[in-house]
Amino acid sequence: MLVSSPLPSTDADLPATPEVALPVSLDAFLAGIGPRAFRFAEAGLRQREDALDAVQDSMLKMLGYRDKPAAEWAPLFWSILRRRVVDLQRRRGFRLKFWRSSDEAGSDHDIDWADSAPGPAQAHEQRDHYAQLVQALRELPARQREAFTLRVLQDLDGATTAKAMGCSEGAVKTHLSRARQALQQSLEIAL
């Protein structure tokens, strides 16, 4: 079973986010956000190397915003990363349309995700669950996937998510609601 309980249906069902102290430097901010940013990019790009490149490019671009207030770093970084992921998706789509070979047509790049803390059986089960979640996320429309990933998996608030996605908070709620509903149905079918 992938999800022990149904996905939250409203923002009220989400766990409350504690107030987090702002980082003292941009370097500390980037060091803390790196793993979450990688997971976000990997879910959107489906390739580890492309995700690493997107995160690195986004972090380098953030260095130019060192003078911005620390409160603006998170929405700015997520917006930069999101645009970089979309750009890479578009470029890949164009390249694949013309240069994709037949042997690559059926290949699916699995994400190598390993958790060293649990035992082997539990680690295997977690990888299966993660793979099912990633596959379900990949089937979502891009805006729904972005809203779900930023809002739920990255635990950003509605305003930050809206700013990163370049839309209103109402649009984020709509995309998030539709994503939850689609994921719930997809994951129930997978079980």
Per-residue pLDDT of the chain (191 residues; tens, 9 = 90+): 344 434 444 444 444 444 556 667 888 889 999 999 999 998 888 888 989 999 999 999 999 988 889 889 999 999 999 999 988 888 876 555 555 444 444 444 444 444 445 667 777 787 888 888 888 888 999 999 999 989 988 889 999 999 999 999 999 999 999 999 998 888 887 65
- For the domain that residue 164 is a member of, what is the CATH number? 1.10.10.10
pTM above 0.85, yes or no: no
47 lies in some domain: yes
Q: How many CB atoms lie within 10 A of CB 62?
A: 19
90: which residues sit within 8 A by CB, 6+ positions away?
none
111 lies in some domain: no
What domain range includes position 169? 119-191
Last-in-domain residue among 65, 98, 131: 98
134 and 77 in one domain? no
175 and 135 in one domain? yes
147: which residues sit within 8 A by CB, 6+ positions away?
161, 165, 172, 175, 176, 179
Task: Answer whether 78's CB lies under 8 Å from 154's CB.
Answer: yes
Pick from 139, 133, 173, 112: nearest CA to 4? 133
88 lies in some domain: yes
129 lies in some domain: yes
134 and 73 in one domain? no
Name the strand (E) or helix (H) holding 147.
helix 142-148
> Which pLDDT value is given to residue 95?
55
26 lies in some domain: yes
2 lies in some domain: no
> Which pLDDT value is given to residue 61?
94
Residue 75 is which amino acid? Answer: P
